[in-house]
């Protein structure tokens, strides 16, 4: 018994002082590796261009907002923010509706072809999206839907991720509730709308956050279908200020401007993540462990 208590105490961190200092240092190093790049981004965006290339000072010697002024005057930044918000919100809401219903049917209903459908959807998760990019792009050109919300939104609705997410959730849903709803005279749709969906809030929150971040951070497809700058989303538009530049021609902008535009692009999602961290992590855990 005594021995057992000892080992448990050891495990609970009653380490010699040396190890504890090492633990602190390790934490500091890990923290710095992951947070310093963001810090450096913000600091660089606040330095006058003349200082940026020559100084490695960790604090700006002289604070300037000129890069932010440049970014907001040279680019339709508010339009990009609006496009990103609009596309992400619409895609997330539509996908939540479509996926919850499909996931519910796959989890709780008996119908012909269910097994086949399940396998097809599962296989689609393994197929890289890039396979449909060429044909979808051809269709977008044919229908002249480039530079429109249609091309930014509709192709994003077909992903099977949400369906599996909800299916997983509904598999463990208590069946009594459905039975009693049915005895009260609800049909399948009423049962779903009035009983099942309202009780799936935790799954919906987690799924919404994950889907939103997928869409918000998406790069390749929105880049392909936005020809004019005003139809770009934030991640696509921000790349105009990339100092490397497409085809390595180099952009006209310096690092200060580049860091300013990505600071603007990063802050909304970083803030959102910090506020919603708990749900975000819950969602990933659920999807990761069982999906």
Partner 1 sequence: MDAILRSGKDGNIGSPGRQGKFRYKGKLVDWAAYAFIGPYMLLFITMKVAPILFGIYVSFTDWSISRAPRWVGLENYLRAFTDPWVAQVWLNTMTITLLVVPGTVVVSLLLALYVNRKWRFSNLVRTFVFAPKAVAITVTAMIWVWILEKESGILNMLLAGLGLPKIAWLTSITWVIPSISMVTIWWGVGYNMIILLAGLQDIPQALIDSAHLDGANDRQVFFRITLPMLRPILGLIITLETIAALRIFGQVQLMTAGGPGGRSATIVSYIYSTGFQRFDLGYAAVLSLLLFLTTLVFSWIRFKFYGDQDN
CA separation (Å) from 161 to 41, 126, 288? 33, 11, 12
The continuous run of DSSP H or E covering 232 comes out as none
Q: Which of 49, 66, 129, 147 binds partner 1 (CB under 8 A)?
A: 129
Q: Does 96 bind partner 1 (CB under 8 A)?
A: no
Whole-number minimum distance, CB 139 to partner 1, in Å? Answer: 8
Q: Which stretch binds partner 1 (CB under 8 A): 75-83, 100-108, 144-152, 198-206?
A: 100-108
Q: Which residues contact 105 (CB under 8 A, 6 or more apart)?
A: 111
Whole-number minimum distance, CB 63 to partner 1, in Å? Answer: 18
Residue recorded with tokens 């604070």: 63
Burial 152-181 (b: 16+ CB within 10 A, else e): bbebbeebbbbbbbbbbbbeebeeeebeeb
Q: Does 88 bind partner 1 (CB under 8 A)?
A: no
Q: Which of residues 149-188 bind partner 1 (CB under 8 A)?
A: 154-155, 157-158, 160, 163, 175, 178-179, 182-183, 186-188
Whole-number minimum distance, CB 111 to partner 1, in Å? Answer: 4
Q: Return d(Cα 97, Cα 172) in angstroms, integer.
A: 20
Whole-number minimum distance, CB 258 to partner 1, in Å? Answer: 6
Q: Which of residues 204-263 bind partner 1 (CB under 8 A)?
A: 213, 216-217, 219-220, 224, 234-236, 238-239, 241-248, 255, 258-259, 262
User: Which positions from 34 to 73 touch partner 1 by CB under 8 A, shown as an x/- string?
Assistant: xx-xx-xx--x-------xxx-x-----------------
Instruction: Select 66 or 186, whichever has its Cβ closest to partner 1.
Output: 186
Whole-number minimum distance, CB 69 to partner 1, in Å? Answer: 19
DSSP H helical segments within the chain, as ranges?
A: 2-11, 17-46, 49-52, 66-74, 77-108, 114-126, 133-142, 149-153, 161-171, 175-183, 188-190, 201-217, 220-225, 234-238, 255-290
SS3 1: coil
User: Which positions from 9 to 28 touch partner 1 by CB under 8 A, shown as an x/- string?
Assistant: --xxx---------x--xx-
Q: Does 196 bind partner 1 (CB under 8 A)?
A: no
Instruction: Select 18 or 175, whichever has its Cβ closest to partner 1.
Output: 175
Q: Return d(Cα 219, Cα 226) in angstroms, integer.
A: 11
Instruction: Select 11 or 228, whichever has its Cβ closest to partner 1.
Output: 11
Q: Which of 22, 93, 141, 143 binds partner 1 (CB under 8 A)?
A: 141
Q: Does 285 bind partner 1 (CB under 8 A)?
A: yes
DSSP string for residues in 78-145: HHHHHHHHHHHHHHHHHHHHHHHHHHHHHHH---TTHHHHHHHHHHHHHS-GGGGHHHHHHHHHHTT-
Q: Does 89 bind partner 1 (CB under 8 A)?
A: no
Residue recorded with tokens 């069946």: 175
């Amino acid at each position: 018994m005594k021995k057992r208590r000892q080992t448990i105490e050891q495990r609970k961190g009653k380490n010699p002082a040396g190890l504890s200092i090492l633990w602190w240092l390790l934490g500091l190093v890990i923290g710095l590796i992951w947070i310093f790049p963001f810090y450096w981004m913000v600091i660089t965006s606040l330095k006058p261009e003349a200082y940026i290339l020559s100084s490695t000072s960790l604090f700006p010697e002289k604070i300037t907002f000129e890069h932010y002024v440049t970014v907001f005057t040279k680019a339709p930044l508010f339009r990009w923010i609006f496009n990103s918000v609009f596309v992400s919100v619409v895609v997330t809401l539509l996908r939540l509706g479509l996926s919850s219903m499909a996931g519910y049917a796959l989890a709780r209903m008996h119908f012909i072809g269910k097994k086949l459908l399940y396998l097809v959807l599962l296989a689609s998760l393994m197929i890289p999206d890039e396979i449909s990019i060429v044909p979808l792009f051809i269709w977008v050109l044919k229908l002249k839907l480039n530079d429109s919300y249609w091309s930014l939104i509709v192709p994003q609705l077909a992903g099977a991720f949400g369906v599996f997410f909800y299916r997983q959730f509904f598999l463990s849903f208590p069946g009594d509730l459905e039975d009693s709803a049915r005895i009260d005279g609800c049909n399948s749709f009423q049962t779903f709308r009035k009983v099942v969906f309202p009780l799936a809030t935790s799954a919906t929150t987690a799924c919404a956050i994950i889907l939103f971040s997928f869409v918000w951070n998406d790069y390749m497809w929105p880049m392909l279908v936005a020809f004019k700058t005003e139809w770009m989303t934030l991640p696509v538009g921000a790349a105009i200020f990339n100092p490397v530049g497409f085809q390595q021609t180099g952009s006209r902008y310096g690092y200060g401007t580049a860091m300013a535009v990505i600071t603007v692009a990063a802050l909304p999602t970083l803030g959102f993540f910090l506020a919603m961290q708990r749900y975000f992590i819950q969602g990933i855990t659920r999807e990761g462990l069982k999906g």
